[in-house]
Amino acid sequence: MVVSIATNPEPAPAQDALAQDFLQFVVDCGVLRFGEFKTKAGRISPYFFNAGQFDDGAKLGRLAQFYARRLLQSGIEFDMVFGPAYKGIPLAAALAVELARLGVNVPFAYNRKESKDHGEGGTLVGAALQGRVLIVDDVMSAGTAARESIAIINGAGAKAHAVIIALDRQEKATEGGRDVDYSAVQYVQRELGLQVCAIAKLSDLMQYLEQHGAGGPAIDQQRVLAYLQRYGVKESQS
């Protein structure tokens, strides 16, 4: 069925414990901040998710644990991991290490933005792309990185199969400077045919703010809710 995450608060959805733990982690790390931030689409967002703040070994290792737990929980089948340049590179490497620690040892690869004309050459580094490839990224703003990754993966004779991200913003994508009625995640799912899973969604963030706030529970919750009501998309649930 299809429900609106912005305007249908009853019945209250069950809490996702993993998502709530993750949100507490990213707030504590300063990765998730609240205030006024301009997005690439020109919107003024009441929150900002900055993956660049996963800037030491402990944070990156903990992040990889969340990725691995969500991935294994999702049931998505895959043969290897791919990290799109640049943010996806450390994410893919960290996830591969954590999966191996859990007994799931899979190869990983990543791409360069610039092609090398010496050494091994080309734009791909790591294991040869083959089988069902899982793409790892932080957020999905427009699906551009996913489309680029799909072209690279399929062009190498493998199959782009699924994407895992840290946060699903659940907001309308833009095309030609105008809002459309679907998110980047929904576009990748429906139009590109890839499975997508996220450690947490904006609907999880609303639940987090209801319980904890972020320095001002009522203010932050109201701002995020207003943003969601204006730019949010309907969430498809099976």
Using one digit for the tens of pLDDT, what is the confidence trace for 34-52? 989 998 778 899 999 999 9
The average pLDDT across 43-71 equals 95
Q: What is the mean predicted confidence (pLDDT) over 222-230?
A: 89
- The whole-model pTM stands at 0.87
Asked if the 2-236 domain carries CATH number 1.20.59.10, the reply is no
What pLDDT score was predicted for residue 10? 46
In angstroms, the CA 83 to CA 86 distance is 8
| 223 contacts: CB under 8 Å, gap ≥ 6 | 34, 46
* Average pLDDT value over all residues in the chain: 86
pLDDT of res. 218: 57
Say yes or no to pLDDT of 219 above 90.
Answer: no
pLDDT (tens digit, 9 = 90+) per residue, 142-196? 667 788 999 999 999 999 999 999 999 999 888 877 888 899 899 999 988 999 9
Would you say residue 120 has pLDDT above 70?
no
pLDDT, residue 116, reads 55
- How many other CB atoms are found less than 10 A from the CB of residue 25? 19
* pLDDT above 70 (res 206): yes
Contact 54, 136 (CB under 8 A): no
Of 89, 71, 87, 82, nearest to 107 by C-alpha is 82
Catalytic residues: 116, 118
The pLDDT confidence band at residue 215, using thresholds 50, 70 and 90, is low
Q: Is the pLDDT of residue 6 over 70?
A: no
Report pLDDT for 174.
83
Each domain of the chain, given as residue ranges in start order, spans 2-236
Q: Please tell me whether residue 157 adopts helix, strand or coil conformation.
A: coil
3-state secondary structure (DSSP) of residue 34: strand
The distance of Cα 195 from the centroid of its chain, to the nearest Å, equals 12
pLDDT grade for 69, boundaries at 50, 70 and 90: very high
Ranges 20-29, 123-132, 170-179: which has the least confidence: 170-179
- In this prediction, residue 68 carries a pLDDT of 98
Structure confidence at residue 177 (pLDDT): 77
Distance between CA atoms of residues 235 and 238, nearest Å: 10
